[in-house]
Amino acid sequence: MSWNNFCSLFKKDCQMMIAGKFFLVAFGSLIIYTLFINFGYVHYMNAELYNVYLYDPQGTQQEVSERIHPVASLEELNAVLSADANGVGIDTSSGTPGIVFYYGSEKSDNHRTDYALSLLHQENEYTAKIVGSNTLESKQRKEMCSELLFIEIIAVGFLGIASVLFKEKQMGAIRVHAVLPFKKGLFIMAKLAVFLLSDLIFTVLMTVLNIGFPDAAAILPAVLVQTAILSLIMALMGFGCTMMLKDFRQFSLAYVIIVIFASAPIFLSANTSVKMAWMDLHPFYHVYMGLKNACFGMPVINPVYYICSVCGIVILFLLAQAVFHREMGKEG
Amino acid sequence: MRGLFYQLKSVWKDKFCMMSFFLPIVVALALKFIGGIDLSSVAEFHFGVLESDLSDQTIGWLGRYGSVTAYKTQEELTAAINEPSTYMIGVTSDGGSIQTMVSGDELDLFRQTADTLPALYEGRERAAEISVNILERPDMMAGFQNIFIAITLIVAMFMGCTFNAMNMIAEKENGIDLVNQVLPVTQSGYVIQKIFVGFTGGCLSAVLTACCYFRLQWGSAILMLVLIMLSAFIAALIGLFIGKFSESLMVGVVYIKIVMIIFMAVPLVSYLLAAGGLASVLCYFVPSSAAFEGIMNLAASGNPAIAKDLLILMAHCVIWFLLYLSISKWQKKHT
């Protein structure tokens, strides 16, 4: 009996989301993200070590490395350096080599000097030992994929549930539910199920399209677990906020605050070497790292993380149920 | 006049509009004050070493190039090197020399640094007697900051579309749209009021944003004002389109999001990739391209040449306006 109720609620929510063009928006973002990763990010994100230019009119340097670019005059040296401000110039016109370059930062300047000088001597070719399993491209794909997944789930779970619920709230459908003969928890469950399902499908498509099938198949189970945690948290938070706030405009304010202030420090901390001490207290940081590590094939194994996540979801569920009952009572 | 007053009052009460009004101003202030943010720690090298493996001298030598972190075991060191968010290079001793380790997913810059590090170590005595001439370079961040502020200004100018679009959608949802149809308001009066709302909102926000950041000469300031007014007018027209075609708030938000993404991405991408030829001409079909170019010119030089950009913006104003009029006329005929 209760299963039938659940099914009809689920069906109604799906219809509402189709009518609200929700799936269309999600599908559009999927295409944009995929195009961005496959044709933009992977191709343009790379940096080479500095170029070294040698001006050597007397030919004093005999055994220079082939990585050095010779130039014919001092003017040419100045011109290439001002065009390539990270480059390093070596000027041997006075007999001994002198280094010239534009200021970068103190430590990188030390390295630029020593690197340029080392190129004046042929050394044995050395290749650093490789201890990881990713290439640059596969890492960039996984990294961008996890970031976009995180953004999309935060945005979709939160905004999507609001768009559906505010409609029901305004139409008075929530008041109708107060008198319908089914368990009230089912109402929230059905909403969660719709968003969970759509987020999981989105995740599968996103990983397969951007990481490639063989790699994606290996990491997918772990990624789906993390997606489910994040999706449930965001959908429950969206549910609670929708019940408490008056209309969509107020909600959009809460939305901007959550998106900017909750996710900006996470991206800064998780993707650059900037580390902030209070970051460990930020709950979304752990979820994001869980998702990212799962994408890199290193799922979190610490049971504390999962216990905390489940507790968090249960607490959020109870809170959502409480505000839902209050909302029904207010209108009933 | 009274109508205009009510329009502005209803925008003033709309949190969404107020938010999009103040957001660019706050960003401009933030850019102004944290302009000199120190990102050098992001750009420097990070080395990972094992405890009691390398001599103090070697660690001191590595410290000249970047930060050095010590790890207790080989496993911890490997995990730190593989950590995707950093570009750490592992350094271990190898008799009298050193060995390096990378994870293999680094940018070429870091992989090449790791490949050449042992050679630098071998030649570390040679460096002493060399003369080094360091040239002052123009502030690297200035160019980037101009991009940020130009994009912020674009957001401020074209956010004008939020004001009247949101206003129109709210009227649709509350049923005021139906009331308007029986009130003695002409279609042209209605359009002018709505354009005015978006135009003033966009203009004010952009002018305040520009004032927060730029200190311009009189001539440039007037050119900037013209640029802002033309862009805000286009934004108001686009707001009319969005308001006309979106039947609910959610759809309106999605349309605005798409428009803003296109308006920000097209000029940015064409600037960063230095698009030329046909591609750059195609970019001018998005009005923000011309505005972006104009702002960058004004910010970069004391003697700006932006007549072309102003002309393109004017053409946009006329075309969008005529398009809106003809669509309205067509709709009237067919309803």
* Cα dihedral sign, A297-A301-A304-A309: positive
Residue B262 near residue B286, CB atoms below 8 Å: yes
Range ranked top by mean pLDDT from A90-104, A193-207, B57-71, B300-314 = A193-207
Among A279-283, B32-36, B113-117, B265-269, name the one with the lowest average pLDDT. B32-36
- Identify the domain boundary among B62, B94, B129: B129
What confidence tens digit (pLDDT) does each residue in A153-189 have? Answer: 887 667 778 877 887 877 777 777 777 777 777 888 8
Nearest Cα of chain A lies from the Cα of B78 at a distance, in angstroms, of: 7
Q: Quick one: pLDDT at residue B38? A: 46
Q: Please indicate, yes or no, whether residues B24 and B48 belong to a single structural domain of this protein.
A: no
Instruction: Tell me the pLDDT band of A332, cut-offs 50, 70 and 90.
Output: very low
Range ranked top by mean pLDDT from A84-88, A158-162, A319-323 = A319-323
Question: Is B300 a domain residue?
Answer: yes
Residue A53 near residue A69, CB atoms below 8 Å: yes
Q: Quick one: pLDDT at residue B107? A: 78
Indicate the residue of A100, A121, A270 with minimum beta-carbon distance to B135: A100
Among A73-77, A172-176, A181-185, B16-20, name the one with the lowest average pLDDT. B16-20
What confidence tens digit (pLDDT) does each residue in B142-175 have? Answer: 566 677 778 888 888 877 788 888 888 888 877 7
Instruction: Tell me the pLDDT band of A228, cut-offs 50, 70 and 90.
Output: very high
Task: Locate B32 and state its tokens.
Answer: 């102004």
- In total, chain A counts a number of residues equal to 332
Decide: helix, strand or coil at residue A69: strand
Q: Please indicate, yes or no, whether residues B248 and B286 belong to a single structural domain of this protein.
A: yes
pLDDT for A310 beyond 90: yes
Q: Please indicate, yes or no, whether residues B31 and B50 belong to a single structural domain of this protein.
A: no
Q: Please indicate, yes or no, whether residues B211 and B95 belong to a single structural domain of this protein.
A: no
For residue B135, the surrounding DSSP H or E stretch is strand B131-135
pLDDT for B83 beyond 50: yes
* Cα dihedral sign, B290-B291-B294-B295: negative
Q: Please indicate, yes or no, whether residues B9 and B58 belong to a single structural domain of this protein.
A: no
Q: Please indicate, yes or no, whether residues B106 and B185 belong to a single structural domain of this protein.
A: no
List the domain boundaries for chain A: 12-43+135-331, 52-118
Backbone angles phi, psi at B88, to 5 degrees: -80, 140
Q: Please indicate, yes or no, whether residues B85 and B210 belong to a single structural domain of this protein.
A: no
Q: Please indicate, yes or no, whether residues B45 and B27 belong to a single structural domain of this protein.
A: no
Indicate the residue of B104, B130, B249 with minimum beta-carbon distance to A130: B104
Question: What is the residue-averaged pLDDT of chain A?
Answer: 80
Which position has the higher pLDDT, A95 or B322?
B322
Question: What is the residue-averaged pLDDT of chain B?
Answer: 79
Which position has the higher pLDDT, B43 or B30?
B30
Q: Quick one: pLDDT at residue A123? A: 67
Question: B107 and A45: CB-CB below 8 Å?
Answer: yes
What whole-number percentage of chain B has pLDDT above 70? Answer: 86
Q: Please indicate, yes or no, whether residues B156 and B304 belong to a single structural domain of this protein.
A: yes
- Identify the domain boundary among B108, B129, B150: B129
Q: How deeply is A294 buried, as exposed, middle or buried, from its count of CB atoms within 10 A (0-12, 13-18, 19+)? A: buried
Q: Please indicate, yes or no, whether residues B193 and B210 belong to a single structural domain of this protein.
A: yes
Indicate the residue of A49, A81, A114 with minimum beta-carbon distance to B109: A49
Question: Is B134 a domain residue?
Answer: no
Q: How deeply is B12 buried, as exposed, middle or buried, from its count of CB atoms within 10 A (0-12, 13-18, 19+)? A: exposed
Instruction: Tell me the pLDDT band of A213, cut-offs 50, 70 and 90.
Output: confident
Residue A68 near residue A119, CB atoms below 8 Å: yes
Q: Averaged over B182-190, what is the pLDDT? A: 76
Q: Which domain holds residue B98?
A: 41-129
Question: B254 and A25: CB-CB below 8 Å?
Answer: yes
Question: A97 and B130: CB-CB below 8 Å?
Answer: yes
- Chain B partners within 8 Å of A113 (Cβ): 127, 130, 132
How many Cα atoms occupy the beta-carbon half-sphere of A22 within 13 Å? Answer: 26
Q: Please indicate, yes or no, whether residues B47 and B100 belong to a single structural domain of this protein.
A: yes
Q: How far is CA A272 from the centre of its chain?
A: 12
Q: What is the ipTM of this complex?
A: 0.70
pLDDT for B37 beyond 70: no
Q: Please indicate, yes or no, whether residues B152 and B271 belong to a single structural domain of this protein.
A: yes
Rounded to two decimals, the pTM is: 0.68
Using CA atoms, how far apart are residues A229 and A227, in angstroms rounded to an integer? 5
Total domain count, chain B: 2
- In total, chain B counts a number of residues equal to 335
Q: How far is CA B85 from the centre of its chain?
A: 23
